[in-house]
Amino acid sequence: MRVTFLGTGSAMPTGERFQTGVLLQEEGRTLLIDCGSGVLHRLQQSGVGYENVSTVLLTHHHLDHVADLLPLMKARWLAGEGHLEIVGPQGTKSLVDELLAVHEYMQGKLDLQLREVHPGEFSVAGFDVSAYETRHSLPCLAYRFGNLFTFSGDSEAFAGLANFAEESAILAHDCSFPDDVDVSNHPTPDTLGRELAGREIGRVYLTHLYPHTDGRHEEMLESIGAHYDGDVRFAEDLQTVSIE
């Protein structure tokens, strides 16, 4: 499996980090997880391109995770790609219907397949997926792909999510702010390290990074490392990780 971080930023993007998007590729199958602002451009920069993404899996419906959904639809329509499947938690169908109600000229341009999923197991784009509800301000699902890859979506750090990710080769986890920021619905390094302590995970990549984290990576890693002794790194836009 190849995991490409298309966007590792947040609702306050920087020039280096666009909003959330993760691309999975395995044996000819391709899946885009989330589609925040800038992800459409990152798809082109990755060499994969929007023409080759026919399925999007949403963690939740905050703007920084769905902002490029309509631009993706339009780009695929203009490129002659007539199909797109959008899968996500409860409310996904209403979200897409309301987006299309604002931009009426896009109605009927694509063969859209909309599917809502719940915590548990399902298949999407040929991938077998397990979903787990996170702790966020909107209903949000974390997704696990066998023992290869787990994506936290947006969430506070808590034991249930750490258990869900245990024994994954790669965990990409929200770590939006350094420790001195008073925040809910997202973890800080200290809270994340405490919840990961004792877990067996191959490697952890920190993502969903607000500008507040700029220049503070070393202290954030030290804070996590005070509790968790595993391999922790910061994800970067357009970084690709291969998982055997």
SS3 content of the chain, % helix, strand, coil (to 5): 25, 30, 45
Nearest-Å Rg of the Cα atoms of the chain is: 17
CA dihedral over 160, 90, 170, 34, signed as positive or negative: negative
Active-site annotation holds for 179: no
Give the rounded distance of the alpha carbon of 110 from its chain centre.
Answer: 24
Hey, how many other C-beta atoms are within 10 angstroms of the C-beta on 219?
14
Short-list 150, 143, 171, CA closest to 228: 171
Which of 34, 64, 68, 174 is labelled catalytic? Answer: 64
Say how far apart CA 95 and CA 78 lie, in whole Å.
22
Q: How far is CA 200 from the centre of its chain?
A: 21
What DSSP string runs through 183-223? -SSS--HHHHHHHHTT---SEEEEES--GGGTT-HHHHHHH
Instruction: Give, as one character, the DSSP assignment of residue 72.
Output: H
CA dist., res. 212 & res. 215, Å (int):
8
Catalytically annotated residues: 64
